[in-house]
Amino acid sequence: MDTVNIHQAKTHLSQLLSRVELGEEIVIANRGVPVAKLVPIANKLDRRSSMGIDRGLFQVPADFNADLPPDLLAAFEGAEA
């Protein structure tokens, strides 16, 4: 269990919440005195184990990087075709 001071908690809150979401508990201290604990609300599926579960469900087309047709490119650029 990691302990951070209030300034660190305010500065890095999103990072701390990501760590908590992965199951870590973090204590927030005021001048070295623990005052609060960040803990996950629910024990959701571990985010690490969910990475890659959609592998194979989508295939990048071979022409993914091909040039756009002139009319579609003109539409994106705001020009008349």
Residue 34, domain member (yes or no): yes
User: Is residue 67 assigned to a domain?
Assistant: no
Share of the chain above pLDDT 90, in %: 58
In sequence order, which residues have a C-beta less than 8 Å from that of residue 19 and are 6 or more positions away?
A: 2, 26
Expressed as residue numbers, the domain containing 37 is 1-41
The verdict on residue 24 lying in a domain is yes
Domains of the chain: total: 1
CATH number at residue 21: 3.40.1620.10
Whether 20 is covered by a domain: the verdict is yes
Average pLDDT score over the chain:
87
pLDDT given at position 1? 86
Q: Which two tokens stand for residue 58?
A: 């989508």
Q: What digits encode the pLDDT tens for the residues 40-54? A: 887 655 566 677 788
**Bridge partners for 27 per DSSP:** 3, 37
In this prediction the pTM is 0.52
Q: Is 17 in contact with 10 (CB distance < 8 Å)? A: no
57 part of a folded domain: no
Confidence band of 78 (pLDDT split at 50, 70, 90)? confident
Closest CA to 2 of 42, 41, 29: 29
